[in-house]
Amino acid sequence: MRHAVIALAILAACAGLTAAQNATEPSTTVPPPPPLPAVVVLPWVERPGVGYPLVKLNCSDVLRFKWGPEKHDVIQTLGPAGGCSSPKVKEFFDGTNGDVPVFFSYPGNYSFKCAVTDHCPKGKQRVVVEVGQCPQGPNVLAWGFRRDNSTYAPVIVPCGTKITFYWTGRHDVVQVDKPSCDANVTQNHTEIVQGPYNHTIEFTTPGAHHFICSVPNHCTVGRMVTTVHVVPSEVCGMPPRKASPPVHKPPPRRAPPSRRPPPRKSVWRPHN
């Protein structure tokens, strides 16, 4: 009986201590987990007079362009400003019965169009995709093995941007001379590293910069190949401004000489 009373007293004391700690210590708020990657299906057809609304996705989401027996293609363009005449960045597919999954690894705006005949200008077959920031922070590119057969959408950034490649598997970042798994290596930015790991690259030269993961099968099967298109900005890449020619100022004009006749000299003459 005595041991039971002692045990109850100890339990009561521990409960009181826990209650006191809960009363004095502030509660910590656990941040919500990042949203799970989503797969959004977009019926890819002509929409004359209507067009497509803005599509909003999270970083690492996949957009699947799908259509039936009619002929279409999926072309990513340099930006929405040029509309249907905006330059092509990448062609994903051209044909019938399309099912084209596109993976978005980096935040920003992405523009796509169908270039078949008048599908874009008349059929309004053009869409802009707005992708939010990756959970790991701003300017982070999600770098990983794709098991859903999706293709990386090329990234478009202004010159001077720093991009951080982030991964959790076993990868590397290798720069190549074309967006292909059999391309020639131009620079090894990292060794093969087990993640979580990140590597930051600053882009100071306009143009297309291509990257792959050189781990066997990661490029050919896992589709780990992407392109960063760098456009000129005020930071770098703009042609040097020509110095303005010196402004020639004519010398000040002198006043013309006076044309008034000289004053007449008076001659004194004696009076008779």
- Please write the tens of the pLDDT for every residue from 240-263: 666 666 777 777 777 666 666 666
Greatest C-alpha distance within the chain: 169
Task: Give residue 243's pLDDT.
Answer: 64
What mean pLDDT comes out for the span 32-54?
87
Task: Give residue 21's pLDDT.
Answer: 39
CB within 8 A of 189, min separation 6: which ones? 165, 172, 173, 174, 175, 199, 201, 211
Task: Give residue 258's pLDDT.
Answer: 64
pLDDT (tens digit per residue) in 90-140: 999 999 999 999 999 999 999 999 999 999 999 999 999 999 999 998 999
Query: Helix (H, G, I), strand (E, B), or coil: what is residue 209?
Result: strand
Q: Is the pLDDT of residue 13 over 90?
A: no
Where do you find CATH 2.60.40.420 in the chain?
A: 35-135, 136-238
pLDDT band at 39 (very low <50, low <70, confident <90, very high): very high
CATH architecture of 136-238: Sandwich (2.60)
Task: Give residue 179's pLDDT.
Answer: 96
Task: Give residue 90's pLDDT.
Answer: 96
Task: Give residue 262's pLDDT.
Answer: 65
- d(CA 71, CA 90) in angstroms, rounded, equals 18
What mean pLDDT comes out for the span 219-230?
97
Look up residue 73 and give its two tokens.
């293609």
> Is the four-CA dihedral 60, 184, 206, 126 of positive or negative sign?
negative
pLDDT band at 264 (very low <50, low <70, confident <90, very high): low
**Strand order through the sheet with 162-167:** 140-142, 162-167, 197-202
Q: In sequence order, which ranges of the chain are alpha helices (DSSP H)?
A: 2-24
Q: Is the pLDDT of residue 67 over 90?
A: yes
Task: Give residue 157's pLDDT.
Answer: 96
Average pLDDT along the chain: 85
pLDDT band at 236 (very low <50, low <70, confident <90, very high): confident
29 φ/ψ angles, rounded to the nearest 5 degrees: -90, 125
Nearest to 230 by CA among 146, 173, 160, 183: 160
Range of lowest pLDDT (8-17, 120-129, 133-142, 150-159): 8-17
Nearest to 226 by CA among 142, 158, 168, 159: 142
- d(CA 259, CA 103) in angstroms, rounded, equals 88
- d(CA 170, CA 249) in angstroms, rounded, equals 68
Task: Give residue 235's pLDDT.
Answer: 85
pLDDT band at 272 (very low <50, low <70, confident <90, very high): low
CATH code that applies to domain 35-135: 2.60.40.420
Task: Give residue 156's pLDDT.
Answer: 96
